């Protein structure tokens, strides 16, 4: 299975900060990578597909980049509703795998 490693596992930030989360794959997944946001008690919500395509209705302060084995999710000007856990997911292989998650907390 392709292993997905996210870093950091947690971070503290303030409203208005720029936040960058990294996701590394153990082998190339090309552009077949998605990002999800999950708030406590809720199901994950799709943010980004194909590494950099924003899903409908997702604010433009979210962006994704990368290809192959290294990807980033960037949130510019963090908003109160952005405090959540973020997961990357590769869907390149027959066995889909998720990163371990990055919890974005209020500083």
User: Which pairing describes strands 102-106 and 10-13: parallel, antiparallel, or unpaired?
Assistant: parallel
Closest CA to 69 of 42, 43, 92: 92
Question: Which residues within the stretch 55-84 sit at the binding site for another protein (CB under 8 A)?
Answer: 55
Phi and psi torsions of 81, nearest 5°: -80, -5
Q: Do residues 35 and 26 touch, judged by C-beta distance below 8 A?
A: no
d(CA 87, CA 70): 14
Among 49, 52, 67, 76, binds another protein (CB under 8 A): 49
Binders of another protein among residues 19 to 38 (CB under 8 A) are 32, 34, 36, 38
Contact flag: residue 100 with another protein (CB under 8 A): yes
Given candidates 44, 69, 71, 82, which one binds another protein under the rule CB under 8 A?
A: 44
Q: Minimum Å distance from CB 14 to another protein?
A: 25
Binding stretches for another protein (CB under 8 A): 1, 32, 34, 36, 38, 42-46, 49, 55, 87, 89, 91-92, 94-101
């Amino acid at each position: 299975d392709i292993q997905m490693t996210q870093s950091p596992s947690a971070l503290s930030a303030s409203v208005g900060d720029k936040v960058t989360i990294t996701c590394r794959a153990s082998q190339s997944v090309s552009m077949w990578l998605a990002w999800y946001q999950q708030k406590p008690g809720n199901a994950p919500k799709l943010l980004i597909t194909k590494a950099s395509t924003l899903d409908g209705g997702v604010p433009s302060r979210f962006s994704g980049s990368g290809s192959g084995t290294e990807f980033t999710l960037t949130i510019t000007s963090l908003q109160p509703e952005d405090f959540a856990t973020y997961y990357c997911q590769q869907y390149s292989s027959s066995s889909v795998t998720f990163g371990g998650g990055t919890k974005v907390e209020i500083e």
